[in-house]
């Protein structure tokens, strides 16, 4: 299974979110623009979801694995959307985001390596 576009979009989301969360945490004045930050990150998350939809082929992935990707994308969206809540705990949301996004990145790389692993077995 090829997931290169999804991986590229996910890495961009991870990189951008790290920069944005860092700015929000270090500069209280940035909190005023949290809505635009969340909108941008949700847009990038939507690009990840769309790339995954294009690359995932029906029947190519067992249902529990497909569900894992779906739940990870949902957790990413929820963490980003939480930024807009008044009094949101940025570090908690950042941890939730990373707990979903970073393992998903590794998982997607594994999906691309799967055929090579099957040939070597």
**Banded pLDDT at 58 (limits 50, 70, 90):** confident
Question: What pLDDT, in 10s, does the model give residues 16-25?
Answer: 999 999 888 8
- Where on the phi/psi map is residue 59: left (φ > 0), alpha (ψ -120 to 50), or beta? left
CA dihedral for 31, 50, 118, 62, sign (positive or negative): positive
Question: Does residue 98 register a pLDDT over 80?
Answer: yes
Q: Are 89 and 97 in contact (CB under 8 A)?
A: no
pTM score, two decimals?
A: 0.88
Higher pLDDT among residues 88 and 80, named by residue: 80
| pLDDT given at position 121 | 47
Q: For helices 4-26 and 90-120, what crossing angle results, to 10°? A: 160
**Banded pLDDT at 33 (limits 50, 70, 90):** confident
Q: Tokens for 64, please give them.
A: 């529990």
């Amino acid at each position: 299974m090829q997931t290169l576009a999804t991986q590229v979009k996910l890495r961009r989301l991870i990189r951008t979110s790290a920069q944005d969360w860092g700015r929000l945490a270090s500069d209280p004045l940035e909190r005023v623009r949290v809505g635009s930050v969340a909108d941008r990150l949700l847009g990038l998350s939507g690009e990840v979801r769309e790339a995954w939809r294009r690359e995932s082929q029906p029947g190519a992935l067992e249902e529990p694995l497909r569900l894992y990707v779906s739940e990870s994308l949902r957790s990413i969206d929820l963490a980003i959307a939480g930024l807009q809540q008044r009094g949101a705990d940025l570090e908690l949301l950042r941890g939730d985001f990373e707990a979903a996004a970073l393992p998903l990145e590794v998982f997607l790389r594994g999906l691309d390596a799967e055929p090579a692993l099957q040939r070597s077995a």
